[in-house]
Each structure stands twice: as structure tokens, then as C-alpha cells.
Amino acid sequence: MSAGKLKIYAGKVIAIDGPAGSGKSTIARKIAERLGFEYLDTGAMYRAVAWVMREEKLDPDKLDDFEYMRNNWNMTFHYDGTRTVVHDGSRDISEDIRNEEITAASSAVALRPRVREFMVALQQQRIARGSVVLEGRDTGTIVAPRAHVKIFLVADPRTRAERRFLEYMRNGIATSVEEQLEKMAERDRQDSGRSIGPLAKAPDAIVVDTTELNIEEAVEAVLKVCKTRMSPATTSGGRQ
Ligand code: DC
């Protein structure tokens, strides 16, 4: 699509939520690329919190430790065309935040209300500028309740576990589909069950089931929804 044609979408906000393995990250990145938007990986931000807590031996339940983390927060996030690059100051922690330990710890740290409040404030600073696709668990409900487009991705648990298994295999991490099925069920339970900012579909989100779709098909399905919702005839001026 030409840059001229994309201009009609400039400034819009797209919120994509869903459980692990639903295809969220890949789809959100590709949608951002196709529309010339920025991509905001909110999960990477919770992972960075979990990483720094562990690195600095901080306890998220202790107010002083949390304040220390917040006052010294020096994380930057950008998408380099293939992955979210995360720096703590000058240190590249992009790989470190993806290991299994930090994956589990990020879900646990994301239960803390003060952590969520801090993250949501940072995310809202970014979406105020528009032209962004954000991806996570609560982006359509809490972070950007007035997003122009809200998508909730779903897929059956086995398909999600198989996708996660293949991803780990590609990265040289030994695991099994059964193990991923179990870990995912636990993470889903934790992410959906928390009282603040749970994994949830916004009432006005469009559900896209990716179980039977390959990535290209899923991207096309989501892009179609985005374009319809963002077309001048259907938008009502919503923002964050
Ligand atoms: O999307 P992800 O797997 O990288 O996210 C890591 C964890 O962060 C996930 O288990 C739940 C948490 N998270 C969250 O609570 N809210 C978000 N908007 C994004 C992620």
C-alpha cells in the first residue's frame, strides 16, 4: 500500500489482546508494518520489570524496592523489524527477558497493582501520539479503552502450546508440547484471574480465532477488521 493511501489511518490506535500463543506478537508486528505504525510490545515491559527485580534482587511486594525500581527505570524498547529490542541503559537484555524463568516471573510481577499502574502510565504516554499498534492482555480494556480498533485473538490451547513449542525449539530451548500446555494453562489462569488489568476481551473488541489460520491468513483477517474500523466512514473519533 502506498504511503499516500496509508495517510488516512495516521494517528489511529489499534489494541490487540489475547493469551500466549494466540499469534498476538507476530500479527501485531505485521499489522504495524503494513500500516506504517509503531509497534508497542507491552508484555516486553512486564518482562523487563521481572528482569530488573531479579537482577537487583528486589521484592515487588516491598514499597521501597518498587520505588527504587521505578526511580531508576532506564529501559528503552524498540522494534527493529524482527523483534523487540530492550535496553537497560546501554545493556541489551532482549534475549534475557525471553527465558522461561523470566516468562513465569513476568506473569507473577504483573499481578502487582503498583507495577501495573506504572506500566499503564508509560504505555499511555506512547499512545497519546497515535499511529501505534499495542499488544498485550489489557490494552483494549485498561491501557487504551478508546482505541479505534480492538482485537481479541483466541486459539485452542493445544494449537497455542504447539506454536510456543516450535518457537522454543527454534531458539534452541528444549521442551515439549505437553509441558507448554501445562505452563500455558497456569499462566492463562494467573493472567485472567488477577483483579487488576486481567486478560480480558473489551466489550467492543472483535474476536479473531487463529486456530485454523496460518500467519498470513490471520494478518489479512485482522488487517481487514482494522481498515474497516479505521475508515473515515466508520470512525467516531475514538482515541485512547
Ligand atoms: O505477552 P508476553 O508473554 O510477553 O507477556 C509476559 C507477561 O506479562 C504475561 O504473562 C502477562 C504480563 N502482561 C500483562 O499482564 N499485561 C500486558 N498488557 C502484557 C503482558
Q: Return the pLDDT at 239.
A: 52
Q: For atom 20 of ligand 1, which residue has the closest CA?
A: 43
Give the 3-state secondary structure of residue 172. Answer: coil
Q: For atom 9 of ligand 1, which residue has the closest CA?
A: 107
pLDDT value at 27 more than 80: yes
User: 172 and 237: one domain?
Assistant: yes
- Helix (H) / strand (E) element for 11: namely none
Cα angle for residues 20, 42, 144 (degrees, 5° grid): 105
* 195 CB-near residues (< 8 Å, 6+ apart): none
Domain that holds residue 112: 38-130
Distance from Cα 46 to the centre of ligand 1, integer Å: 6
Higher pLDDT, 195 or 32: 32
pLDDT value at 195 more than 90: no
Which of 89, 111, 130 is the endpoint of a domain?
130
User: 172 and 82: one domain?
Assistant: no
Q: For atom 13 of ligand 1, which residue has the closest CA?
A: 43
Using one digit for the tens of pLDDT, what is the confidence trace for 39-70? 999 999 999 999 999 999 999 899 999 999 99
- Helix (H) / strand (E) element for 13: namely strand 13-17
Using one digit for the tens of pLDDT, what is the confidence trace for 97-155? 998 899 999 999 999 999 999 999 999 999 999 999 999 999 999 999 999 999 999 99
- Residue 180 Cβ < 6 Å to ligand 1: no
Domain assignment present for residue 56? The answer is yes
Which of 81, 113, 130 is the endpoint of a domain?
130
Domain assignment present for residue 97? The answer is yes
pLDDT bucket at 240, cuts 50 / 70 / 90? low
Domain assignment present for residue 98? The answer is yes
Q: Please count the CA atoms within 13 angstroms of the CA of 130 that sit on its side-chain side.
A: 12
0.85 exceeded by the pTM?
A: yes
Q: Return the pLDDT at 231.
A: 84
Domain assignment present for residue 3? The answer is no
Q: Return the pLDDT at 6.
A: 77
User: 220 and 236: one domain?
Assistant: yes
Give the pairing type, strands 149-154 and 75-79.
Answer: unpaired
The pair phi, psi for residue 127, each rounded to 5°, is: -70, -15
Which percentage of the chain shows pLDDT scores above 70? 95
209: left (phi > 0), else alpha (psi -120 to 50), else beta? Answer: beta
Which of 97, 130, 163 is the endpoint of a domain?
130
Q: Which residues pair with 40 in a beta bridge?
A: 134
- Residue 17 Cβ < 6 Å to ligand 1: no
CATH number at residue 137: 3.40.50.300
Q: Return the pLDDT at 1.
A: 61
User: 61 and 139: one domain?
Assistant: no
11: left (phi > 0), else alpha (psi -120 to 50), else beta? Answer: left
Alpha carbon distance 205, 207 (integer Å): 6
Domain count, the chain: 2
Q: Return the pLDDT at 149.
A: 98
Q: Return the pLDDT at 153.
A: 97
Domain assignment present for residue 4? The answer is no
pLDDT bucket at 7, cuts 50 / 70 / 90? confident
Q: Return the pLDDT at 5.
A: 73
Segment 1-16 mean pLDDT: 85
H, E, C per residue of 192-220: HHCCCCCCCCCCCCEEEECCCCCHHHHHH
User: 123 and 185: one domain?
Assistant: no
Q: For atom 4 of ligand 1, which residue has the closest CA?
A: 43
User: 108 and 124: one domain?
Assistant: yes
Segment 15-42 mean pLDDT: 95
Domain assignment present for residue 1? The answer is no
pLDDT value at 203 more than 90: yes
Domain assignment present for residue 2? The answer is no
Cell of 162: 504447539
User: 45 and 30: one domain?
Assistant: no
Domain assignment present for residue 79? The answer is yes
User: 20 and 74: one domain?
Assistant: no
What ligand 1 atom has the least distance to the C-alpha of 143? 18
